[in-house]
Amino acid sequence: MTTLNPNVAAVLDQAPSPPPPSALARAAQRNRGDRWFFRVVTAAVWLVPLLVIVFLGVLLVSAWPAMRKFGFGFVLSKSWDANAEGGEAYGALPFIYGTLVSAFFALLLAAPVGIGVATFLSEVVRGKLRSVIAFLLEILATIPSVVYGMWGMFVLAPFIARHAQPQLKIVQTHLDQWFGKGNVPIFQFRGFPNGLGLGTAILVLAVMILPLIVSISLDAMRAVPTSYREAALGLGATRWEMIRIAVLPPARSGIFGACILALGRALGETMAVTMVIGNDSSIHWSFLRQANTISSIIANEYGEAADLKLASLMELALILFVMTLGVNLIARYLTGKLGIKPAVK
C-alpha cells in the first residue's frame, strides 16, 4: 500500500481556494461605490428644491396675517400708517410705484449707453484699448452697493441740489405755465434742497446696472457668427451698416434679455437706493421728490417691525420676489436661446 507523501496529502486535504475575484465582481464593487457617490450628490441637489420650497413657505406663512387682513386691497392701498383710525393700515402702492419707476427709468437711461458700449467693444475697438475699457467696466461691476450709496448721498445728491435743481425748477415753472399748475409735476420740488429723491436713485441705479447690460449684450454679439459680418462687409457695407444688418438683428433677443435682467437687478437693489431715495412713503409724481421702494422700506423698517407691520413687510417682500421672478424668467428665456449663462455674471 502506497502512502501519499504527507506534503501532497496536506495539499489535497485543503479546501479549494476561492477563485480570484472576477472582473465582474470587481465591477459590481465599483458600481456600488459609484451608486453611493451619486446618491450623495443627488441628495445634495435635492436640497435646492427644498430650499426654494422652504423659502416660499416662510414668505407665505409670515405674510399671511397681512394677506388675511387686507386682502387684495393691500396692493392698491396708499396708506402706510401704524396709527390710522380704525387700526393699523398698510398698503403697497407707494412702494410698488417707487420700485417700478426707479427701475424702469434707470433701465431707460442705462440701456442705450450699455448697448452702445457693448457694440463698441464687440465690433469697433480691438487690442489694448478694448481690454482697458473692459477692465474699467469690471471695476464698475465690482464696486459694492453701499459704496455707490455713499457716493450718491455725499457727492451726487449735493451736486444735483446745487446745479440741477435750480434749473429743473425753472423747467417746472414753464411746465406749470403751459399746462396749468400741478398738471405735470415732473420736476416739482418742495422743502430743503438736499438732492435726495427719485431722480438721484434713478441715476445711481443706472450706473449700477450698466456693466451688467454691457457684459451680457457683449456675449450676445460675440455669439453672432463671423461669417454674417463677412457677408455684410462683402456686400460693401460700412461698419455701422454691418452692425445694423448682420450683428444687431441676430443678437436682438440676447440684448433684450440683458436689459430685462438688468431691470430685475434694479428692482431688487437695496442699499444704494435706500441711501439716496429719501424714504418718503407717499406717491409724488416728481423726480425731485423723495420716494421709497419695496426694498428700501424693508431695509428701513424691518428691524423694528412686529405683528401686522412685520407681516405687511413680508407681503411686500413676496410681491418684490414675484416681480423679480417674472422678470428673470423672461430674461432666462431670451438669453437661453443664445446659450448665454446669465447666472455667472
Partner 1 sequence: MTKHPTNHANYRRWKNRVVQGVMIVMVAICIVPLVALMWTLLSQGLNSVSFAFLTHLPKPPGETGGGLGNAILGSLLILLFAAVFAVPLGLALGIYLTQRDGTRLASFSRMLLDVLSGIPAIIVGVFIYAIVVRKTGFSLHLGFSTLAGSLALAMIMLPIFARATEEALKAIPRTVDEAGLGLGLPRRTVIVRILVRAAMPSILTGLFLALARVGGEAAPLLFTTQRSDFWPSHGVTDLATLKPLLEPVASLPLVIFEYSKSPYEDWKAQAWGASLVLVVLVLAIRLSTKAFTAWRYGGQGTHV
Q: Which is nearer to partner 1, 145 or 184 (CB)?
A: 145
Q: Spell out the residues 6+ positions from residue 172 whose beta carbon is closer than 8 angstroms to its own.
A: 185, 186, 187, 188, 189
Pick from 67, 75, 133, 233 the residue near partner 1 by CB under 8 A: 133
Pairing outcome for strands 80-81 and 89-90:
antiparallel
Answer for which of 10, 108, 147, 186 binds partner 1 (CB under 8 A) is: 147
Cα-only R_g, the chain:
31
- Site for partner 1 (CB under 8 A): which residue of 21, 173, 238, 252? 238
Instruction: State the DSSP H helix or E strand holding residue 81, giving kind and residue range, or none if neither.
Output: strand 80-81
With respect to partner 1, which residue has the nearer C-beta, 15 or 23? Answer: 23
**Given candidates 170, 171, 223, 329, which one binds partner 1 under the rule CB under 8 A?**
329
In whole angstroms, what is the distance from residue 157 CA to residue 3 CA? 112
DSSP 13-66: HSPPPPPPPPHHHHHHHHHHHHHHHHHHHHHHHHHHHHHHHHHHHHHHHHHHHH
For partner 1, which is the closer residue by CB, 107 or 267?
267
Within residues 53-112, the interface with partner 1 by CB under 8 A covers 54-55, 58-59, 61-62, 112
By CB under 8 A, name the one of 21, 46, 182, 190 that touches partner 1: 46
- For the chain, what percentages of helix, strand and coil (3-state, to nearest 5) are there? 75, 0, 25
Question: Could you tell me which stretch among 68-76, 246-254, 284-292, 312-320 binds partner 1 (CB under 8 A)?
Answer: 312-320
194 burial via Cβ count (<10 Å: 0-12, 13-18, 19+): middle
d(CA 5, CA 268): 91
Query: CB neighbours of 327 closer than 8 A, spacing ≥ 6?
Result: 260, 261, 263, 264, 267
Contact characters 158-197, partner 1, x per CB under 8 A: ----------------------------------------
Residue 234 buriedness (CB in 10 A; 0-12 / 13-18 / 19+): exposed
The residue among 104 and 285 lying less far from partner 1, judged by its C-beta, is 104
Number of neighbouring beta carbons within 10 Å of residue 97 = 19
Q: How far is the CB of 287 from partner 1 (least distance, A)?
A: 18
Start-to-end CA span in the chain (Å): 91
Q: Which of 10, 28, 76, 155 binds partner 1 (CB under 8 A)?
A: 155
Query: Contact at 8 Å (CB) between 316 and 297?
Result: yes
In the list 11, 21, 30, 73, the residue contacting partner 1 (rule: CB under 8 A) is 30
The answer to whether residue 24 forms part of the interface with partner 1 (CB under 8 A) is no
Residues that bind partner 1 (rule: CB under 8 A) add up to a total of 84
Can you tell me which of 9, 11, 136, 223 binds partner 1, judged by CB under 8 A? 136
- Measured from the CB of residue 47, what is the shortest distance to partner 1 in angstroms? 6
Candidate list 92, 101, 111, 117; residue touching partner 1; CB under 8 A: 117
Pick between residue 15 and residue 343 the one whose CB is nearest to partner 1: 343
Q: Which of residues 244-273 bind partner 1 (CB under 8 A)?
A: 264, 267-271
* Residue 285 C-beta: closest distance to partner 1, Å: 26
